[in-house]
Amino acid sequence: MSVSGSLALAAAASLASLGAPDPTAGGALLSAAESVDWWLVGDPADWWFVVRNADYLGGGLLLTVGLTVASILLGFLVGFPAGAVEVYGDGLSKRLVETAGVVLRGTPIVVILLVMYFVLGVPQVNLGVGSISPAISAGILGLGLRSAAYQSQIFRASLSSVDDGQLEAGRAVGLSRFEAIRYVVVPQALRRSIPGFQNEFTIVLKDTSIVFAIGLAELLTRGYDLFTEQTTAVLEVILFISAIYFVLTFTTNRALDYLGTRYAIPEGESA
């Protein structure tokens, strides 16, 4: 059973232990409500257990954020050229990019991670000041390529949304086709891709929980470790982790909302 599935089952058991109402007992709902302080969900002792282990969860948070940022960047570096090839390419290169995208989007992320780690055997990466373990390298590569397959469609749609007249106007003032795409089409396409990129960031952030399959202890896995140590704190651990995920997604989405508004194409300036 996956970590997320175990969390769900354990949460149900924890709620039951708090006095979840029995449908056959008419007054059980009132007694359950009275067993929990009005200002706090869960047991204070269990919350204190979570707070004492916040540094342990912090290690998982750093791994989650690191995997998300690295995977998004890799997805952009691969996905944007792939989207451009799908729009402006032809022949073998276009067919290869389209086929690779279909395969990556159609393969479960856990399978991609297992192939990267156990089949391909991604090596350790030395950065001079430190090194990246094979498991982390496989996680970044798997999540990044999967993200690239989806980002390519975001950028393909945004590039296609720029009117052909923009490209022709660039050619008319003496730019080559490549220069017209680079200086006229791409800036507009990047601005229009921000909403789709927002969704992709949230998806990648949540997909980092799957790296437990290759032995990485990210945020959700470390939460699982905590409530197996003290099973009465299941609800508190889940609420604490959920709050962290919410803060991450909320702040990032608000930042991208600001960028989308700040760099939006003024209406009427492009077709």
Secondary structure element (H or E) that encloses residue 243, with its range: helix 234-262
| Per-residue confidence band for 236, with pLDDT thresholds at 50, 70 and 90 | confident
Residue 166 has pLDDT above 60, yes or no: yes
pLDDT of residue 268: 53
Average confidence (pLDDT) over 195-217? 88
Partnered with residue 45 across adjacent β-strands are: none
Nearest-angstrom CA–CA distance, 18 and 117? 41
Number of domains in the chain: 1
- Is residue 37, in this structure, part of any structural domain at all? no
The maximal CA–CA distance of the chain, rounded, in angstroms, is 82
Residue 63 has pLDDT above 70, yes or no: yes
- Is residue 270, in this structure, part of any structural domain at all? no
Dump the DSSP string for 196-209.
HHHHHHHHHHHHGG
List Cβ neighbours of 37 (8 Å cut-off, separation of 6 or more). Answer: 44
Burial class (CB in 10 A: 0-12, 13-18, 19+), 110: middle
Tokens matching residue 27: 């007054």
Secondary structure element (H or E) that encloses residue 126, with its range: strand 125-126
Partnered with residue 125 across adjacent β-strands are: 132
* Torsion on CA atoms 57, 62, 68, 69, rounded to nearest 10: 160
Dump the DSSP string for 70-82.
HHHHHHHHHHHHH
CA 231 to each of CA 57, 118, 227: distance values in angstroms, whole numbers, following the listed order? 16, 32, 5
Nearest-angstrom CA–CA distance, 92 and 189? 25
- Is residue 21, in this structure, part of any structural domain at all? no
| Per-residue confidence band for 1, with pLDDT thresholds at 50, 70 and 90 | low
Full-model pTM: 0.78
Average confidence (pLDDT) over 102-119? 93
Q: Which of 42-56, 59-73, 144-158 has the lowest mean pLDDT?
A: 42-56
Residue 3 has pLDDT above 90, yes or no: no
pLDDT of residue 154: 94
- Is residue 152, in this structure, part of any structural domain at all? yes
pLDDT of residue 139: 93
Partnered with residue 126 across adjacent β-strands are: 131
**Of 59, 60, 82, 73, residue with least CA distance to 204:** 73
- Is residue 205, in this structure, part of any structural domain at all? yes
Tokens matching residue 50: 């979570």
Residue 18 has pLDDT above 50, yes or no: no
Average confidence (pLDDT) over 54-74? 92
More confident of the two residues 70 and 268: 70
Residue 9 has pLDDT above 60, yes or no: no
The full length of the chain comes to 271
Contact 168, 202 (CB under 8 A): no
CA atoms within 13 A on the CB side of 249: 15
Percent of the chain with pLDDT over 70: 82
- Is residue 36, in this structure, part of any structural domain at all? no
Average confidence (pLDDT) over 68-86? 94
pLDDT of residue 67: 93
**Cα 82–chain centre separation:** 20
| Per-residue confidence band for 42, with pLDDT thresholds at 50, 70 and 90 | low
pLDDT averaged over every residue in the chain:
81
- The range of the structural domain enclosing residue 129 comes to 43-258
Average confidence (pLDDT) over 120-144? 85
- Is residue 35, in this structure, part of any structural domain at all? no
pLDDT of residue 11: 47
More confident of the two residues 39 and 47: 47
Query: What values do phi and psi take at 126, rounded to 5?
Result: -95, 130
CATH number at residue 59: 1.10.3720.10
Fill in the DSSP letter of residue 53.
T
Residue 21 has pLDDT above 50, yes or no: no
pLDDT of residue 95: 93
Average confidence (pLDDT) over 113-131? 83
- Is residue 211, in this structure, part of any structural domain at all? yes
